[in-house]
Each structure stands twice: as structure tokens, then as C-alpha cells.
Amino acid sequence: MKRDELVNFLNGIFSTHLGIEGGANGLQVEGKEEVKKVGFAVDYSLDLVSFAIRDNVDFLFVHHGIFKKEINSIKGYFYHLIKDLIKNDINLYGMHLPLDLNEKHSHGIKIGEMLGLENMEFYGNIGGFKYIVYGEFKMEKDIEEIKDYILKNVSDTLKTHEFGKKKIRKVAIITGSGISYVDDVLSREVDLFITGETSHSYYHFLKYSKLNVFYLGHYNSEKWGILSVKNLVEKRFKIKTIFYDIPTYL
Ligand SMILES: [Fe+2]
Ligand SMILES: [Fe+2]
């Protein structure tokens, strides 16, 4: 298929939020016009490029792309990051916050679906957009049961702070680095906050707030939207796709 057809299709999915983060979203590095195989990954990295070259991938879709807002020089790590990509004519497409905020494909919505949450909606305010996924269990669920499910199906790097109720109904989710938004999360009553990463400095505040927080790890919280877009592209265009699972364990 044509690269531009794929780019237009993807831009269309994320059009509502596309402008939220300037030029960092969309086609970041232009490569060949004809696309036969599409690779998907959470992070852009040297490892990813080497796998893409090995597998003859023509187009890479990532959540964390090349974030340089202004490029004044191409040297060192940045040079190496793009050197083999350009040499091999591979397209790089990045979709950061617009993926996090997407009502169908965001990691948070996908995690909510896996957990069986109902009445899902977004709340909170980041740059005028709602960004926290909220959902409810139909009936109260034991916190241990949720932990077991997550460990088996969502994240084997789960860590928890359990300062709240043992029976859970109301859940908030911010994937990635979510802990710094906990004030916004608490603008609504929730029994459990699920996020990616934490920071030492929040421990006592969370205890004071009697909040349960599950940390899936940044990486393990942000695979799910990528997999969702991968399935969509594969079905829609009958094109070969590969998901590159390159965990950071963080
Ligand atoms: Fe992230
Ligand atoms: Fe994210």
C-alpha cells in the first residue's frame, strides 16, 4: 500500500487530539512510498530499528517517537537513532498524547476493557482535554482478585500501594507517568488508581489520601493502545504487521 494512504488513515483516527503536542505526532521521518510490512512498538530505539531492518519493515508506528522539538544538530545518540532508519528508507510514525486520549484505542481504555470496567469515560483536564479514564466494576471486586488478573494478563511488573478499601468498584487509569496527576484523579471519588510509574515522593500523600494505587510499569501500561492500532491496520488493509515487544521493566 501507499505510505500516504496509511498516514492519512492514522492521522484520521487521531485527528481530535492531533494538535495537542505540536509536530511530535504523525509522520516523523519520511521513508519509502510503498509499504508492505508495518512494525509496531511502544518505544522508538536503536534495538527497534535493527529489528525492523532484519524483518524488512517499511513503516514503524510507535508511542514514544523522536521527541526533539527543535533540532539544531544531528550528532551523537540522535544521529545514530536516525542514521539506519534513513539509510534503510523506513518510515517512522509517532503518536503520543493523541493515542493516550483516544476514546477507542487508548491504553487506558484497553486496560479498562480487559478488566471488565463499565461506564467508561474520560475526566480531568490537560490542555483543555480530558485524559483520565474512569470506569466501574458492575459489582465490587476484591482487590486481590484484580491484582491476580493484572499479574497474569496485563503486567508482570505490577507494584502496589494499598492504602484504601479492599473492595473496589470505581477505577481511574492514567497510563505512563501518571502519578503526578493524582490531585486531578482525586477530583472524583475512586477506589483504585491504576497508572504506569510512580515516584518516592508520593508515598505519604497516597497514605494520607487512603488511596489504592497499582503501578503496572510505564512500558507494560502502554502496550495496549499500540496492539489495538496494530489489529485495526492489519484488518483494514490486510497488510503484514509485527509487534516488537521490547520491555524496559520500568
Ligand atoms: Fe508514555
Ligand atoms: Fe502515553
pLDDT above 90 for 232: yes
Do residues 138 and 176 share a domain?
A: yes
What value does the mean pLDDT take over residues 218-223? Answer: 98
Query: Does pLDDT of 18 surpass 90?
Result: no
Ligand nearest, relative to CA of residue 225: 2
In a domain, 18, yes or no: yes
Assess whether 162 and 112 both reside in one domain: yes
Query: 120 and 36 in one domain?
Result: no
CA of 223 to the centre of ligand 1 (A): 10
CATH number at 59 reads 3.40.1390.30
Closest ligand to C-alpha of residue 95 is 2
pLDDT at residue 23, rounded to an integer? 60
C-alpha cell at 136: 466501574
Tens of pLDDT along 35-46?
999 999 999 999
Q: How close is the Cα of 143 to the center of ligand 2, in Å?
A: 25
Please tell me the distance between residue 97's alpha carbon and the centre of ligand 2 in angstroms: 6
Pick from 66, 96, 126: which residue ends a domain? 96
Q: Tens digit of pLDDT for each residue in 166-204?
A: 999 999 999 999 999 999 999 999 999 999 999 999 999
H or E, element range at 172: strand 167-174
Residue 92 β-bridge partners: 29, 60
**pTM as predicted:** 0.96
Say whether both 77 and 117 belong to one domain. no
Does the pLDDT at position 21 exceed 80?
no
Burial of residue 200 (CB within 10 Å: 0-12, 13-18, 19+) is exposed
Q: How confident is the model at residue 68 (pLDDT cuts 50, 70, 90)?
A: low
Residue 39 grid cell: 512494525
- The answer to whether residues 130 and 67 belong to one domain is no
Last residue of a domain, one of 96, 120, 141: 96
Task: Determine the distance separating the centroid of ligand 1 and the alpha carbon of 42, expressed in angstroms.
Answer: 8
The per-residue pLDDT for 231 is 98
Give the span between the Cα atoms of 175 and 178, in whole angstroms: 6
- 38 C-alpha to ligand 2 centroid (Å): 20
Q: In this structure, is residue 242 part of a structural domain?
A: no
The answer to whether residues 63 and 163 belong to one domain is no
> 158: how many CB neighbours lie within 10 A of its CB?
17
| 204-217 mean pLDDT | 98
Spatial separation of the C-alpha atoms in residues 236 and 240, rounded to whole Å? 11
Residue in the block written with cell 482535554? 129
How are beta strands 167-174 and 26-29 bridged, if at all? unpaired
Distance, in Å, from the CA atom of 7 to the CA atom of 13, rounded to the nearest integer, reads: 10
What residue numbers bound the domain in which 128 lies? 107-218
Q: What is the pLDDT of residues 110-145, one digit of tens each?
A: 999 999 999 999 999 988 899 999 999 999 999 999
24 and 89 in a common domain: yes
**CA-based nearest residue to 112, from 168, 160, 178, 173:** 173
Non-local CB neighbours of 127 within 8 Å, separated by 6+ positions: 20
Residue 34 is assigned to a structural domain of this protein: yes
Compare 17 and 12 and report the one with higher pLDDT.
12
Quick check: is 19 in a domain?
yes
- Ligand with minimal distance to 64 CA: 1
How many Å lie between the centroid of ligand 2 and the Cα of residue 202? 20
- How far does residue 185's CA lie from ligand 1's centre (Å)? 18
Domain co-membership, 59 together with 154: no
Domain count, the chain: 2
Residue 229 within a domain? no
Ligand 2 centroid distance, CA of 33 (Å) = 28
Residue 239 lies in a domain: no
Report pLDDT for 19.
81
Residue 63 Cα, ligand 2 centroid: separation in angstroms? 7
CA of 184 to the centre of ligand 1 (A): 18
Q: Give the chain's mean pLDDT.
A: 96
- Residues with a beta carbon under 5 angstroms from ion ligand 2: 100, 176
Same domain, 128 and 64: no
Closest ligand relative to 224 C-alpha: 2
- HSE (side-chain half, CA atoms, 13 Å) at 185: 24
* Per-residue exposure over 207-238, b if at least 16 CB sit within 10 Å of its own CB, e if not: eebebbbbbbbbbbbbbbbbbbbbebbeeeee
Mean pLDDT over residues 54-69, rounded?
91
User: Is 231 a member of any domain?
Assistant: no
Q: Kindly report, residue by residue over 90-100, the tens digit of the pLDDT.
A: 999 999 999 99
Q: 111 and 92 in one domain? A: no
Q: Does residue 57 sit within a domain?
A: yes
* Positive/negative CA dihedral, 82, 85, 91, 93: negative
Judgement on whether residues 203 and 142 belong to the same structural domain of the protein: yes
- At residue 247, the pLDDT reads 97
Same domain, 136 and 210: yes
